[in-house]
Each structure stands twice: as C-alpha cells, then as structure tokens.
C-alpha cells in the first residue's frame, strides 16, 4: 500500500503519470499494490521535516543542539538555500508557545521577526522544542485529479482525531481532517472526476476489503451498521486552511455500530466507535 500518493513541489508536477504507470506495470507482474489519496493540493507534516537527514541523527535533543550551534546552523542554511524553498507556501499549523503565528507563513513570521526565513525556522523550532506542525501548498490540481481517477485509489484523510471543541481544537490543522470525504462526495463528484457510486466504493467497501475489515464496508445482513446518510446535492466540505475546525454540511445522520452519533446534523454525544484490527470482527 502506498500512503497518500502525490507529487510535491512544482519541479515534480506531472510525475504522477509516471508513478501510475509504474504501479500499473507492477500490478501486471502480480504485485498487489494500491494506494490512498487525500483530495487537496497541500500536504502537512512537522517543520523539522524540512531539515536535512544528518541534522536529525541522535533524536530531538541532538537536533536542537545543532540548531543552537552556529556552525551547524550555517551548514543547514547552506543546504536549504540550494533547495530554493518557497517559504510563502509553508504555513504554521500548530506552535504551542506561538499561537499568534498559527495560520501565518514562514515568510510572514520571518518578516515579523526581522530575520531570514531559515533563521526564523531555526529559532521557532528551538523555542517550541521541535514541535511545530505546518501545512505546505505544493501539489497541482491536475495531479490530484489524475491520481483520483485511477482504479487503484482509495480515499484517505491521513488525519487524526480532531474536534471543534477542547484540546483537540487547537491550532490550524490541515482541513483534510474534517473535509476529505465530503470534499470527494461533493466537489469532485459534482465536477465529474468520479461517479457518486464509485466515490462511495472508494471510501467504504474497497478500503475495508484491502484492510481486511471483514464486517465493515457493505450494507448487508451480518455487517456492522456503520452508515453515513448524506444529500448528494448538498454535501460539502466547510473546513478551510484559514478556518479548519468546521464540520461538513449536507450530512444529517451518521450511524456507528448501529448507534446514531449525528442526528439532524448535530452530534448526539454518543461514542460507540472502536479501533479496528485487520481480520478481527470488532465488538458492537
């Protein structure tokens, strides 16, 4: 399984065609390979991912030591300079000690602090002890659509647990956490990239089969009652990069394990969900 297939960075735009060709060839040789995708032209990761591999050796403490060392900073800055990063396209998603920077780009932070972008990166990582999350705009819409049309694509958010309320509502995370599935059902189905039936299959029975979830993914007797009821004309992702903690619209009911968890588009506070394991029938 290839996790969230994409081509990041303008120099790589269009290379999804070659990636899909390689996958097709591999399948022709008997390699059972498929992949998932989230429907956005931006990715998300930790800010430390922008530092060279050698800077990470020894773990976070060693990394922070290097960021405090003038010679190491010079070396990293030199290597990063050759990569010609577009710091205007890298947005701070979470920085616990600097919430005022969440939603701003590295370039904007650098201007506020009167520093070069890479120096702002170093100092922010030191202050935050390496814990800074970012959203990076660097994918092409053409590549997103090409990957989505492949018969081997499944829909996946690459997300985690979030909520508009409480501690899970901190920061400005990637809108994919809230919007992946309704964005496919709404925007991309209405644009004709996928049929509605195929879009539903790509996020239900197909991934359930690939992951070995034997009692999920289909509506039939004996299967667990996990059901999302949506209006195909109204379903829409509402989360954005500037306002990500927004629930989708056009989804009046959600049933998990036979229990209604969303009724009239409002959460019922019921929590019947369970973690799922490959090949194991999960409890009700």
pLDDT band at 81 (very low <50, low <70, confident <90, very high): confident
Q: Mind listing the pLDDT tens digit for each residue in 196-239? A: 999 999 999 999 999 999 999 999 999 999 999 999 999 999 99
Q: What is the pLDDT of residue 282?
A: 54
pLDDT at 283 over 60: no
pLDDT at 280 over 80: no
Q: Mind listing the pLDDT tens digit for each residue in 25-44? A: 999 999 999 999 999 999 99
Better-predicted residue by pLDDT, 279 or 149: 149
Q: Mind listing the pLDDT tens digit for each residue in 100-148? A: 999 999 999 999 999 999 999 999 999 999 999 999 999 999 999 999 9
Domain residue limits, the chain? 44-137
Is the pTM higher than 0.85? The answer reads: yes
Q: What is the pLDDT of residue 281?
A: 59
Helical pair 60-68 and 117-127, crossing angle rounded to 10 deg: 130
Angstrom distance (rounded) from CA 224 to CA 222: 7
| The 3-state secondary structure of the chain, one letter per residue | CECCCCCCCHHHCCCHHHHHHHHHHHHHCCCCCCEEECCCCEEEEEHHHHCCHHHHCCCHHHHHHHHHCHHHHHHHHHHHHHHCCCHHHEEEEEECCCHHHCCCEHHHHHHHHCCCHHHHHHHHHHHCCCCEEEEEECCCHHHHHHHHHCCCEEECCCCCCCCCCHHHHCCCCCCHHHHHHHHHHHHHHHCCCCCHHHHHHHCCHHHHHHHCCCCCCCCCCCCCCCEEECCCCCCECCCCCCCCCCCCECCCEEEECCEEEEECCEECCCCCCCCCCCCCCCCC
């Amino acid at each position: 399984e290839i996790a969230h297939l994409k081509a990041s960075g303008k120099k790589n735009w269009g290379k999804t065609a070659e990636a899909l060709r390689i996958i097709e060839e591999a399948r022709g040789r008997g390699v059972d390979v498929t992949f998932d995708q989230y429907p956005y032209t931006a990715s998300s990761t930790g800010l430390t991912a922008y530092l060279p591999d050698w800077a990470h050796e020894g773990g976070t403490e060693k990394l922070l030591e290097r960021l405090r060392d003038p010679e190491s900073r010079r070396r990293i800055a030199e290597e990063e300079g050759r990569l010609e990063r577009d710091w205007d396209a890298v947005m701070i998603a979470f920085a616990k000690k600097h919430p005022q920077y969440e939603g701003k780009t590295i370039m904007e932070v650098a201007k506020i602090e009167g520093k070069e972008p890479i120096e702002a990166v170093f100092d922010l990582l030191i202050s935050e002890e390496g814990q800074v999350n970012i959203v990076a705009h660097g994918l092409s819409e053409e590549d997103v659509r090409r990957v989505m049309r492949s018969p081997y694509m499944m829909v996946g958010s690459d997300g985690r647990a979030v909520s508009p309320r409480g501690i899970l509502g901190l920061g400005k995370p990637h809108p994919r956490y809230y919007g992946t599935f309704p964005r496919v059902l709404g925007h991309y189905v209405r644009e004709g990239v996928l049929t509605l039936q195929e879009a539903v299959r790509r996020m239900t029975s197909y991934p359930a089969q690939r992951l070995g979830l034997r009692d999920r993914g289909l509506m039939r007797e004996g299967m667990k009652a996990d059901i999302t009821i949506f209006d195909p004309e109204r379903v829409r992702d509402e989360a954005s990069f500037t306002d990500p903690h927004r629930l989708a619209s056009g989804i009046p009911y959600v049933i998990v394990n036979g229990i209604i968890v969303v009724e009239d588009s409002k959460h019922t506070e019921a929590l019947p969900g369970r973690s799922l394991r490959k090949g194991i029938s999960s409890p009700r």
